[in-house]
Amino acid sequence: MTSPILLPPPNPVDESAYRSLRDLVAAGGVTALTGAGMSTASGIPDYRGPDGSRRVQPMQYAEFLASAENRRRYWARSYVGWARFRSAGPNDAHRAVAALQQAGCLEELITQNVDGLHQAAGSTDVIELHGNLTDIVCLNCEERFERGEVHRWIAEANPGFSADSDEIRPDGDIVLAAQDFADFRLARCVTCGSDLLKPDVVFFGGSVAKPLVEQAYRAVEAADALLVLGSSLQVMSGLRFVKRAHALGIPVAVVTRWPTRGDEWVTLRIDGLLQDVLPRLVEDCLPS
């Protein structure tokens, strides 16, 4: 049986801080930066606990490249996890961000998430720093494929393969014992025959593409404020934008549970659940 996703406990929102956030968002010109906390209410957990430490150890990029055995382990887990991952839908926080963006309160949206739920909720101008799990790339010949197509190849290569796990991860990976994938066969690129097929996402130990970083910097630099939603800011791929905004004198507001690595550069912080705070902002900032 699948274990339920454990959400952070509710926390009363400081009303003075909320009013400041409301005024900042209502004024418009806000760029948003979102993290895994956006999707926890959709059934996709984040990586970290309240202290910022990782609850799970994801596949490292160098580890994925190192051996076919490591790739078999990754793809077996990802193959099983994909069915559950793709069934997740936008939650109230995603819908609130889309509504605020459509009303002109939020401008560009930078996300560290790879689940595509912002776009599913109606958001546009989404800069996906870490890519999207629906896209597959061959690391040997750079041919690109749609995830559903590769999923069918894996199914054909592994008839009857099935496994289950009570844990799913933010990148669609799950936990499987070694015996669960002992006979698992990798799919191969139909163009070059390589088994170096990989979701076009940034694995831990990998780097965000420079053009994406520059695009995100431009979005931050053009903003009147930066709003961080559901990110612990533990990794530099998100933290650097907070530091850039602070260096330019651009206000930085954060809404998330638990402290973040960037709190010293934050102008306004609300310790609360996104699904509580963001729909309220929609009610207060948008005309009926």
Q: How far apart are CA 240 and CA 57, in angstroms?
A: 23
Residue carrying the six token digits 């070059």:
192
Residue 150: phi, psi to the nearest 5? -65, -35
189 is in an annotated binding site: yes
DSSP for 140-207 reads TT--EEEHHHHHHHHHHHSTT-----S-B-TTS-B---GGGGTT------TTT--S-EEEEE--BT--
Structure tokens at 115: 């689940």
Q: How far apart are CA 242 and CA 266, in angstroms?
A: 8
Contact, 219 vs 39, CB < 8 A? no
Q: How far apart are CA 137 and CA 145, in angstroms?
A: 6
Among the listed residues 94, 130, 151, 246, the single catalytic one is: 130
Residue carrying the six token digits 């009013």:
19
Q: Is 246 an active-site residue?
A: no
Task: Please name the residues in contact with 275: beta carbons below 8 A apart, sequence gap of 6 or more.
Answer: 41, 91, 92, 93
Q: How far apart are CA 207 and CA 215, in angstroms?
A: 15
105 is in an annotated binding site: no
State the catalytic residues: 130
Q: Which residues carry a binding-site annotation for Zn(2+)?
A: 138, 141, 189, 192
- Binding-site members are 138, 141, 189, 192
